[in-house]
């Protein structure tokens, strides 16, 4: 019977494999590790031989992962992260530390999450915060982030979600725009107005309303689309048109009177829930638990 390599050897092999997958070539990984490309190739051969499956598809120009390679990469990243967490917790008696990768939507991240990072960092100085603001979904299970702040319904997954709060929708316009174009009194009046919309593929130019207890929708049209509510709010505040956005994204403009809510009697009261999404289980890294607890306390 062939002896299998010990846990330390496997961890090293996983680390090499993760680097190869990240950099996309044996040569780049070899330079990073100060090894020869042939040594990297032998490590990959050992892993594939032990597993009995092909993890990498190799050509003279590029490397790509097979389906099994993707699964092994996800598992390797989780295992290596767990090893790092175990050593870090023991080294510092369990105090939260290490790199914390955060993903948040552009508007909500800039307006609500980023202002909390300074106080959080002061409270946990051993945590290195790595924040990325994007409206694209990141793959947490694949190790692309430790925590993501997400809006709306959540897809079924093995991830853990903790509710942070919710935000209502509001239709807004600037006083100058309303003075020049008139204030809509009913939803149907919007047909005569420049309605600014989201550019997401899933977002249709249809706004919901409620009249006499009955919900209905109305198609609207406008001259500008954007991929986030903050931009739409800024456009509305500059007098370009009417926007329907999350109230958090225009809170300052509403407070300062640069925007005013309209058609509130027809507001259906729909809200979007906000969640922190992360890999759960019994071994949640202390830094992830600390950050999620901090968000839940300060965003509610």
CATH of the domain at 283: 3.40.190.10
pLDDT of amino acid 203: 52
Which helix (H) or strand (E) segment holds residue 207: the answer is: strand 206-211
**Residue 80 domain flag:** yes
3-state secondary structure 239-272: CCCEEEEEHHHHHHHHHHCCCEECCHHHCCCCEE
DSSP class of 191: G
In terms of residue numbers, what domain contains 174?
167-271
**Residue 202 domain flag:** yes
The pTM for the full model equals 0.58
Give 238-272 pLDDT, tens digit per residue.
999 999 999 989 999 999 999 999 999 999 988 88
Whether 126 and 57 share a structural domain = no
Whether 75 and 106 share a structural domain = no
The mean-pLDDT minimum among 162-166, 203-207, 214-218 falls in 203-207
Flag whether pLDDT at 3 surpasses 60: no
Whether 209 and 83 share a structural domain = no
Q: Look at the chain and count its residues.
A: 300
Whether 240 and 285 share a structural domain = no
| Per-residue tokens: 123 | 């409270």
Residue where a domain terminates, one of 39, 70, 89: 89
| 126 vs 7, more confident | 126
Residue where a domain terminates, one of 89, 112, 129: 89
**Residue 1 domain flag:** no
| Per-residue tokens: 264 | 């509130």
DSSP class of 112: I
pLDDT of amino acid 1: 38
Pairing relation of β-strands 271-278 and 160-173? antiparallel
Whether 277 and 246 share a structural domain = no
Three-state secondary structure call for residue 184 = coil
State how many domains the chain has. 3
If you search the block for the tokens 């982030």, which residue do you land on? 145
Q: Give the CATH number of the domain where residue 34 resides.
A: 1.10.10.10
**Residue 121 domain flag:** yes
Whether 57 and 189 share a structural domain = no
| Per-residue tokens: 128 | 């290195």
**Residue 83 domain flag:** yes
Three-state secondary structure call for residue 136 = coil
Mean pLDDT of the residues in the chain: 88
Whether 284 and 255 share a structural domain = no
**Residue 2 domain flag:** no
Whether 174 and 158 share a structural domain = no
Whether 23 and 157 share a structural domain = no
Whether 234 and 261 share a structural domain = yes
Whether 159 and 280 share a structural domain = yes
Give 138-189 pLDDT, tens digit per residue.
888 888 899 999 887 777 678 899 999 888 999 999 999 999 999 999 999 9
Bridge partners (DSSP) of residue 58 are: 63
pLDDT of amino acid 7: 57
User: In which band, very low, low, confident or very high, does the pLDDT at 97 lie, cut at 50, 70 and 90?
Assistant: confident
**Residue 251 domain flag:** yes
Residue where a domain terminates, one of 89, 114, 130: 89
Whether 73 and 156 share a structural domain = no
State the CB neighbour count (10 A cutoff) for residue 5.
Answer: 13
**Residue 113 domain flag:** yes
């Amino acid at each position: 019977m062939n002896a299998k390599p010990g846990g330390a050897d496997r961890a090293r092999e996983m680390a090499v494999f993760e680097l190869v997958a990240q950099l996309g070539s044996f040569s780049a990984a070899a330079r990073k590790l100060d090894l020869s490309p042939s040594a990297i190739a032998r490590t990959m051969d050992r892993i594939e031989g032990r597993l009995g499956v092909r993890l990498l598809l190799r050509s003279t120009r590029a490397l790509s992962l097979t389906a099994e390679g993707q699964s092994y990469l996800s598992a390797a990243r989780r295992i290596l992260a767990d090893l790092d967490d175990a050593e870090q917790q023991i080294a510092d008696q369990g105090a939260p530390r290490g790199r914390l990768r955060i993903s948040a939507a552009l508007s909500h991240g800039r307006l609500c999450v980023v202002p909390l990072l300074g106080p959080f960092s002061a409270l946990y100085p051993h945590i290195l915060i790595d924040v990325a603001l994007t409206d694209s979904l990141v793959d947490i299970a694949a190790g692309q982030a430790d925590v993501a702040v997400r809006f709306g319904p959540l897809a079924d997954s093995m991830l853990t979600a903790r509710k942070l709060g919710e935000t209502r929708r509001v239709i807004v316009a600037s006083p100058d725009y309303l003075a020049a174009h008139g204030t809509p009194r009913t939803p149907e009046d919007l047909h005569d107005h420049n309605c600014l919309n989201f550019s997401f593929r899933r977002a249709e130019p249809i706004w919901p309303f409620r009249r006499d207890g009955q919900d209905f929708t109305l198609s609207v049209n406008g001259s500008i689309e954007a991929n986030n509510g903050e931009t739409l709010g800024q456009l509305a505040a500059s007098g370009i048109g009417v926007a329907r956005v999350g109230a958090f994204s225009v809170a300052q403009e509403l407070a300062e009177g640069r925007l005013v809510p309209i058609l509130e009697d027809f507001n259906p009261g729909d809200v979007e829930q906000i969640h922190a999404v992360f890999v759960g289980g019994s071994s949640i890294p202390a830094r992830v638990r600390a950050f999620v607890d901090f968000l839940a306390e300060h965003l509610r």
